[in-house]
Amino acid sequence: MASPYRALFAAPGSKGFSAAGFLGRMPLSMMGIGVVTMISQLTGRYGLAGALSATIALSAAVIGPQISRLVDRYGQRRVLRPASLVALAAAAGLLLAAHFSRPDWVLFACAAGIGAVPSLGAMIRARWAAVYGGTPQLHTAYSFESVVDEVCFIFGPIISIALSTSWFPEAGPLLAAGFLAVGVFWLTAQRATEPEPHPRERHGGRTALSSPGLQVLVAAFVATGTIFGSIDVVTVAFAEEQGHKAAASVVLALYAAGSCLAGLVFGLLRLSGAPERRWLLGICAMALSMIPLLLVGNLLFLAVALFVGGLSIAPTMITTMGLIERHVPRANLTEGMTWVSTGLAVGVAIGSSIGGWVIDAAGAEAGYGVPVLSGAVAAAVGFLGYRRLVRPVPQRGGSHEHHTEREERHVA
């Protein structure tokens, strides 16, 4: 590991909470695809499987920011443990209901309960912000976490699908639930690095989403999530049309690998200049990298195009996390980070649905028009909302102690 990344873990407790966060994040990439695999094997109903996966994603999009808001107010330990117990109970209910062929409404009720899974990525980034806030190391920490996210998305689906297809149908979701339990309870046992809670009265009960800058970031990442969701569905369909459906997992892994590589390199850089400009450049790069997909003719070309397209993802996500810290009060930091994840989740659900509809109507190659259009929408949101991002942010109660010179001049 390069020196800047090694230096991150000189901080006491950083290795422990990072490892716990890795385990606790694995369900994010394993649960949805695991439920799809389980239900399709037990019932053969792909429509039901997809609907249950979408229910989990949308439920998490609704519940997740509320859980994170409670975390900001009362602390990680007091909120994450009961929320995770609700999610684990719902997951157990779903596995039992599927195994014993209970009515569909029972499956959907349990799937909605799984949405109480907390956003562990936001919790870990909040801990890094508490350790390295206002220092260059925070950029490296956010870069490392983006790489961890990509590693989860490379290996999580592979593990979940392999277990459910080679062992028993419920194995993938069951392991995901196990990762969640171990990750959350291990993380919350580490009290020394837990960020200080900020009770409601200290910041007036304002939601993080009241920040105009955060509104722009969330809107852009709804469009970005649409890119991701449509690419997943369309790539599987395209590989099937090419007669190599199993190759879809390898192609999508290369997409994540491109992002992982770029995130590692980006974390080693010491960048100057306005982060808002870098963010807009990253959004535009993502949009432009989708255009070659319209010319895809075979799996090899697709693999190269997606690997190149993945290079802009992690740097843009890393810059986004830094912007959240600038635009959201410290008392709402975890909630603010979760709202971006929520935007992505909503976008993924939209992209999967639209991508599937286009495939049914016009074929897989036409389906790649969805990520191209979604990229254009993301870029348009970035340009239209750029003024909100560069607007000086006044110092607010509970905000970070470290501010940029521009913010200090504005306060003065």
Give the residue from 120, 119, 113, 70 showing the smallest Cα distance to 92: 113
The pTM score is 0.75
Mean predicted lDDT score pLDDT of the chain: 82
Q: In terms of Cα–Cα distance, which of 65, 118, 62, 58 is closest to 87?
A: 118
pLDDT given at position 105? 92
pLDDT value at position 403?
36
pLDDT digits (tens, 9 = 90+) for 362-388: 888 888 999 999 999 999 999 998 888
CATH topology of domain 206-392+403-407: Growth Hormone; Chain: A; (1.20.1250)
Token reading at 194: 């837990």
> Nearest Cα to 66, choosing from 9, 25, 116, 127?
116
Calculated CA dihedral for residues 120, 121, 127, 129, nearest 10 degrees: -150
- Nearest of 206, 217, 168, 195 to residue 42 by alpha carbon: 168
Cβ atoms of 329 and 398 within 8 Å: the answer is: yes
Q: What's at 146, amino acid-wise? A: S
Q: Is 49 exposed, middle or buried (0-12, 13-18, 19+ CB in 10 A)?
A: buried
Asked whether this chain's domains 16-196 and 206-392+403-407 adopt the same fold, the reply is yes
In angstroms, the CA 58 to CA 220 distance is 18
Q: What are the sequence ranges of the domains in the chain? A: 16-196, 206-392+403-407
Q: Judge residue 78's burial from the number of C-beta atoms within 10 Å of its C-beta, 0-12 exposed, 13-18 middle, 19 or more buried.
A: middle
Instruction: Record the tokens describing residue 351, joined without a space.
Output: 């992209």
pLDDT number for residue 121 = 84
Q: Phi, psi at residue 45, to the nearest 5°? A: -100, 95
Inter-CA distances, 76 with 118, 194, 238, 373, Å? 10, 7, 43, 39
Task: Give the whole-angstrom CA distance, residue 105 versus residue 370.
Answer: 31
How far apart are alpha carbons 81 and 189 in whole angstroms? Answer: 10
pLDDT values of the chain reduced to their tens digit, one per residue, 412 residues: 457 778 888 888 888 999 999 999 888 878 877 887 788 788 877 667 777 877 888 888 888 888 988 888 888 889 999 999 999 999 999 999 999 989 989 999 999 999 888 888 888 988 988 888 778 788 788 888 878 887 887 778 778 877 887 888 888 899 999 999 999 999 999 988 888 887 754 445 567 777 788 889 999 999 998 898 888 778 878 887 888 766 777 888 888 888 888 888 887 877 777 888 999 999 999 999 999 999 888 889 999 999 999 999 988 988 888 888 788 777 777 778 888 888 887 887 788 778 878 887 888 888 899 999 999 999 999 999 888 887 755 444 443 333 333 333 333 3
Q: How far is Cα 68 from Cα 391, in angstroms, rounded to an integer?
A: 26
Domain 16-196 sits in CATH at 1.20.1250.20
Of the candidates 269, 324, 276, 265, the one whose C-alpha atom is nearest the C-alpha of residue 126 is 324
Comparing C-alpha atoms, which of 280, 318, 268 is closest to residue 121? 318
Q: In sequence order, which ranges of 44-116 are alpha helices (DSSP H)?
A: 46-74, 76-99, 104-114
What confidence tens digit (pLDDT) does each residue in 227-258 have?
Answer: 988 887 788 788 878 887 667 778 888 888 88
- Distance between CA atoms of 297 and 302, rounded to whole angstroms? 8
pLDDT at 106: 93
Can you give the pLDDT at residue 2?
55
Burial of 65 (0-12, 13-18, 19+ CB in 10 A): buried
Tell me how many degrees the CA angle 407-409-412 measures, rounded to the nearest 5: 110
Q: Tell me, what's the pLDDT at 43? A: 82
